[in-house]
Structure 1
Amino acid sequence: MSSYLHGPGPVALAHRGGGREVPENSRTAVEHTVSLGLSYLETDVHATSDGVVVLSHDPTLDRVTDGSGAVGELTWDRVSAFRDRSGERLLRLDELLGDFPGLRVNIDAKDDAVVEPLVETLRRTAAWGRVCLASFSDDRLARLRAALGPRVATSLGRRDIARLVAASRLPAPAQRRALRTLPGPADGAVCTQVPVSHRGLPVVTPRFITAAHRHGLAVHVWTIDEPEHMHRLLDLGVDGLVSDRPRVLRDVLTARGPWH
């Protein structure tokens, strides 16, 4: 079982390193996360055409660099020639894991093409207990679990989250039966990462949190940037918050007690 989640209190995850405070997914953003005393970073990855895994939310370079084109259609040499809004080139995942050994990283695999390069990078860096793999795609997560096994933490995909929401609304005996069909800690699944609501329907409710905990899953909520929303969710009993304003999140958590 993965040791990704550890320590007392809720988890503070800097979303893309704090996209409302620094240029997202940049080395500067990672350094910002560390400087705030946070142990957890949320990021996104794509692979170049020659298999280098880079931190990037978008499939293209246009929004956050001075270059253009799809990451997956360019070699690393070409991608590395461009500069992001911090003035640096895109950060490679192996650099992130190697240069910041104290940081735990939630990695969103953004498309199918990144799966094999991501698996190879994690095997090469042996960062097993330091990463949690995430994706909206259940099939993509299934491929990652099959390749890496339960030593690498994962979250739930969109389909399994919907099943967890449905299970949370069932009476206890039926809920227990429904939960047995979901990935859990024995499979490497350690958390579910969800919005407060989806298409106007509430997701994060007391019953949802109870069902997730019953199945051994932590509940992390995204993307929470306002202090009053942070306090409300923490009062509800969530296990972590993902924020574009990690400095604000740190201050809220510090005022409340232990966190990590």
Structure 2
Amino acid sequence: MKRMMTILAASLAMTAFTGPALAAEDGEAGKVISKQQQQEMVNVAHRGASGHAPENTMEAFQKGFEMKADYIEIDVQMTKDGELVVIHDTTVNRTTDGTGKVGDLTLAEIRQLDAGSWFGDAYAGEKVPTFEEVLNEFRGKVGILIELKAPELYPGVEAKIADALIERNMDTANNEKIIIQSFNHESMKTSKELLPNLSHGVLLGGNWANVTEEQLAQFAAYADYFNPSMYIVTEELVGDVHEAGMDIYPYTSRSQEQALRLFDLNVDGIITDYPEHVYAHPVKN
């Protein structure tokens, strides 16, 4: 169903497209992607347009929106005092000027940290955003792919996320603008029970290269998306995922060559640090 809706929306938008077809940077023969293929591909800005701005900051999300990605992907965790924040690692060490585990710090402590200088001086002073800040700023403007990061560390995080979405009427049936995903598949079962009208996805690493049709059927009982590492994606896997009734958004493309390979494999969407490698879609009304 989602694939049909995506293709229909792409067809309606075709008249607005004026950009060139994508081609490999080295001009490799046979690696040209048509305008129609670009329109049909769902473009997901990974942690925002994180190739251009510090990941999981409002600047990265704004840049993803400006580049006309279909979705911004965000990572959600919980602070010591039970507040939801958007950050990838379970510690603040890599992407801020602080140290410590996210779950051991209060929101006030995390908000004092600089989350931008590591990427470049132009982003000095960027803060770790809260989940509610991202929802308030971008709901209705761009799709939001919400990853629950290590939910096993944060009991009750699924309910807190559900409450924030319900409070904003973002839990309605057929809301294609919100997708929830995680590597923790039990967490996704819990989230699906709390938010039955929203789409959910399972994230999978390289150890799922030999996933069986039976396993895919089990995922499809509660998940709408099967989102694996791009390194395990094959034409056969894409076909099996589609046969199970799910869409497939591999992660994380960081080069034009990688994006072109995923186009060739007929995936439904590409999670990328560089939205321009997938194509900047026209603004949707």
Normalising by structure 1, what TM-score?
Answer: 0.80
Out of 76, 101, 110, the residue aligned to residue 79 of structure 1 is 110
1:147 equivalent among 187, 194, 201: 194
Name the structure 2 match of 1:124.
167
Shift of 1:47: 0.8
Counterpart among 127, 131, 140 of residue 93 in structure 1: 131
Say yes or no: does 1:156 pair with 2:190.
Answer: no
Aligned to 2:219: 183
User: Helix, strand or coil: the match of 1:83?
Assistant: coil
In structure 2, which of residues 180, 195, 211 is the aligned counterpart of residue 133 of structure 1? 180
Contact preservation (8 Å) 1:141, 1:157: no
1:237 pairs with one of 258, 266, 269: 266
Higher relative contact order (CA 8 A, sep 6+): 1
Whether 2:94 is the aligned partner of 1:48: answer no
Matched residues, percent identical?
A: 26
Code of the residue aligned with 1:28 in structure 2: it is E
In structure 2, the gaps of 5 or more residues are: 11-39, 117-122
State the partner residue of 1:57: 88
Residue 143 (structure 2) aligned to one of 82, 85, 104: 104
The DSSP-based 3-state class of the residue aligned with 2:99 is coil
- The structure-2 alpha-carbon separation of the partners of 1:73 and 1:120, relative to structure 1 and needing over 3 Å to count, comes to farther
Length-normalised TM-score, structure 2 = 0.74
Q: Secondary structure at the match of 1:218?
A: coil
The answer to whether the aligner puts 1:115 opposite 2:136 as a matched pair is no
How far apart are 1:218 and its partner, in Å?
A: 1.0
- Deviations along 1:191-250, one digit per CA (max 9) or x if unpaired, are 1111133xxxxx312221111112221111111122122122212211111111223332
* Paired letter, 2:202: L
Given residue 144 of structure 2, which amino acid in structure 1 is its aligned partner? V
1:84 counterpart SS class: coil
Provide closer, same or farther for how the CA distance between residues 153 and 10 of structure 1 changes in structure 2, counting only shifts above 3 A: same
Distance in 1 (alpha carbons) for counterparts of 2:183 and 2:238: 19
Number of the residue aligned with 1:23 = 54
Residue equivalent to 1:208: 237
Instruction: Name the SS of the counterpart of 2:167 in structure 1.
Output: helix
Q: 1:157 to 1:250 in 2, by over 3 A?
A: closer
Q: In structure 1, list runs of 5 or more residues that go unmatched.
A: 168-177, 198-202
How far the C-alpha of 1:39 sits from its partner, in A, is 2.3
The alignment of Structure 1 onto Structure 2 pairs a total of residues equal to 234
How far the C-alpha of 1:43 sits from its partner, in A, is 1.5
- Aligned CA RMSD, in angstroms, stands at 2.7
Cα drift, residue 157 of structure 1 = 4.6
